Amino acid sequence: MKYLLYTRAEFLRGIRYRASFWAQMASGLIMTAIQWYLWTAVYRHTGSIAGVSLQEMLSYTLMGRVAAGFLAEPSNLRLAPRVRQGTIVHDLVKPADLHFQLLFQNLGSAAFRLVSTGLPLYVALSVMGILHLPDARTLIAFVISLLMGYVAVFSTSFVSGVLTFYTKSGVGVDHLYTVVELLAGMYVPLQFFPGWLRWVAENLPFKAIHYIPMAIWSGMTEPGEVVSAVLSQLLWTGLMVLLCRIVWKGAIKHLTVQGG
């Protein structure tokens, strides 16, 4: 598949520009340490919060740190500058669809971040006995779910990037990204939310980014419910991809490039 070549190229590019590797590793470690200390302190006077034990919580949040690079908000999806400078013409004449091209390109850099900073962190945390591999069935479900999580986070940024090109404003979803992170369950799992916020988060697609894969990994999702969780994630992710197609097709029609 030709798009996988984009993935490979981006991954290799990551290997070449590894200057910031140590700093990324160090700040990843700091964030992980903060999370560990915070949750240990939160659970000091209680064994379970909203039915979640400390062990499950650490597993949820620290696996979240391991996958943070993979599920990070993709950068450079803003289409407005490409339109303003007219370079979008080059993207459009290529025999590849720009939406899919970007999806696979960013997958390459996400995979690079997962391997370069996520994997060492995972190894360290499992040597320290904080993270444990779940059984094979859960693990497979988690990997599938994590991949869909990537598609979901990409789609969120892509839709917002395309919208900036309608609104011509510099403000996009990255300016409101903490709200997406909150609703995705990146700070706390959704069962911690008060009723109305839980309802909002359950009915938005963002939980497909983070909550669903991490709940599967940590065992918050009961073994019997894993399949239905993955299926609902598939549904949400599919809807997001569809939305990407719609706004993207609409944007191309709407497009006028000036000058030349």
What is the binding site for another protein (CB under 8 A)?
19-20, 22-24, 26-27, 30-31, 33-34, 37-38, 40-42, 44-46, 49-50, 169-171, 175-179, 181-182, 187-188, 192-194, 197
DSSP states along 163-190: HHHHH--S--GGGGHHHHHHHHTSSS-G
Query: DSSP strand E in the chain: where?
Result: 48-49, 52-53
Least distance from C-beta 100 to another protein, angstroms?
29
* Shortest spacing between CB 169 and another protein, in angstroms: 7
27 or 76: CB nearest another protein:
27
Among residues 42 and 89, whose Cβ is nearest to another protein?
42
Q: How far is the CB of 200 from another protein (least distance, A)?
A: 12
| Smallest separation (angstroms) from another protein to the CB of 122 | 19
Q: For residues 107 and 7, give the distance between their C-alpha atoms in angstroms, rounded to a whole number.
A: 6
CA angle, 163 as apex, 157 and 168 as ends, to 5°? 125
Angle between helices 136-167 and 98-113 (to 10 degrees): 130
DSSP 3-state of 41:
helix
Q: Minimum distance between the CB of residue 139 and another protein, rounded to whole angstroms?
A: 28
Query: Which of 3/187 has CB closer to another protein?
Result: 187
SS3 228: helix
Nearest C-alpha neighbor of 163 from the set 175, 151, 178: 175
Per the DSSP assignment, residues forming a β-bridge with 49 are 52
Tell how strand 48-49 and strand 52-53 pair up.
Answer: antiparallel
Measured from the CB atom, the residue of 12 and 33 that comes closer to another protein is 33
| Closer residue to another protein, CB minimum distance, 52 or 141 | 52
Q: How far is the CB of 22 from another protein (least distance, A)?
A: 6
How far apart CA 64 and CA 44 sit, in angstroms, is 22
Q: Residue 257 has which token pair?
A: 């490039």
What minimum distance in Å lies between the beta carbon of 173 and another protein? 10
CA distance 113 to 13: 11
Q: Which amino acid does the sequence have at 221?
A: T
Identity of the residue, 100 or 187, whose beta carbon is nearer to another protein in the bound complex: 187
**In whole angstroms, what is the distance from residue 129 CA to residue 137 CA?**
21
- The nearer residue to another protein, 40 or 85, going by C-beta atoms, is 40
